[in-house]
Structure 1
């Protein structure tokens, strides 16, 4: 069994899902859903021997949990077909507003179940070939490593948020840039002050020599 758990969500609210395995991964999937940005994206989260693939588009998220042995081509093919079936279904037109959790379970849950069964038993080869070509051109599908599961394997570690890391790095960079600017400002001021002092000394020497020459001329 390659595909284990699949769902369709609106934001972080699961509208319909199907789980083929016995182990409960609801906390893991809910954590991942809460981390998905609102913009359109495709991503793979890697955790232990499992892969959480998702497509987020138009306010809806299509997510499937699969064995590591399934790779990424077949699960994303499944997600693409799941997305097409959902958009083409009458339930999609009725889901433009926020719905309660599992509001479409009775209507679209069986569709997810049947599609998972098809891909777990005999995935369409034509679709897989097409997906391979599409994935070769898609550059926004990334792989994100996830920390190990916490105690008893029931909870998932908070996902590493690269945005926070980049923000921290940017803050440190700006702080360092301000420090460098201050150092350069003081350095320029010191150079300017030194130049003024040197100029005054030169003027004083010239004036002293001039006065000395005038005195000698007067005495003669």
Structure 2
């Protein structure tokens, strides 16, 4: 069954809406919410390989879709059909875009669309029992396939983000060091030129001064 639902803006990871829980298994819920927020953070940095993905995390799976710069994410039991999970997300996406689409980019505070929880709860109930005629029909819908959706491990996904951060940080540091080196090289070249031509300039100056003095005397 669906355990957690969150919607966030991909550009900055800002949470937009969430399926509010009833307080049970709160410690467990907080842990996985934190993982979801870390995933959003990685997505905001461009650390994702596909617009649809399933991610293993303990006894659950995160499933997400990205569309219109918004990530729709749910966490389900491992036994819950992947096909239903993604159709659940599609239903949320369609309604969220219809109701809040024009306000997504301008949202400035977390959970600006918290009222969307009403629709999340209503839709979640429809997907609760996988054996209903409605859900069986969705499972048998050959037009909606999920076999090609990539499955990854949560540590692997979060680890990729950390490694990319390290590479980015190293690249920035090397660029900064290169600039410092280039500036120092210019200073050294300037000093070398001064040392090379300063004696010549002094000699020429003395000679010209002598000619000028001699001309004045004569």
TM-score, with length taken from structure 2:
0.60
The answer as to whether partners of 1:5 and 1:66 remain within 8 angstroms in 2 is yes
User: Runs ≥4 in structure 1, deviation > 4 angstroms?
Assistant: 162-165
Aligned partner of residue 79 in structure 2, secondary structure: helix
Alignment match, 1:99: 108
Tell me what 2:39 maps to.
Answer: 32
What is the CA-CA distance between 1:84 and the residue it aligns to? 1.1
Give the equivalent residue in structure 2 for 1:8: 7
Q: Could you list the runs of 5+ residues in structure 2 that have no partner in the other structure?
A: 168-218
Superposition TM-score, scaled by structure 1 size: 0.60
Structure 1 residues 103 and 163: CA distance shift in structure 2, 3 A: closer
User: Secondary structure at 1:161's aligned position in 2?
Assistant: helix
Distance 1:17 1:27, change over 3 A: same
How many residues are treated as equivalent by the alignment?
152
Partner of 2:67: 57
Secondary structure class of the residue paired with 1:4: strand
Aligned CA distance change for structure 1 residues 119 and 44 (closer, same or farther; 3 Å):
same
Contiguous gaps of at least 5 residues in structure 1 = 148-156, 169-220
Could you say what the CA RMSD is over the residues aligned between the two structures, in angstroms?
2.8
Deviation (angstroms), 1:80 = 1.0
Describe the SS at the equivalent of 1:9: strand
Q: Is the 8 A contact 1:4 1:65 kept in 2?
A: yes
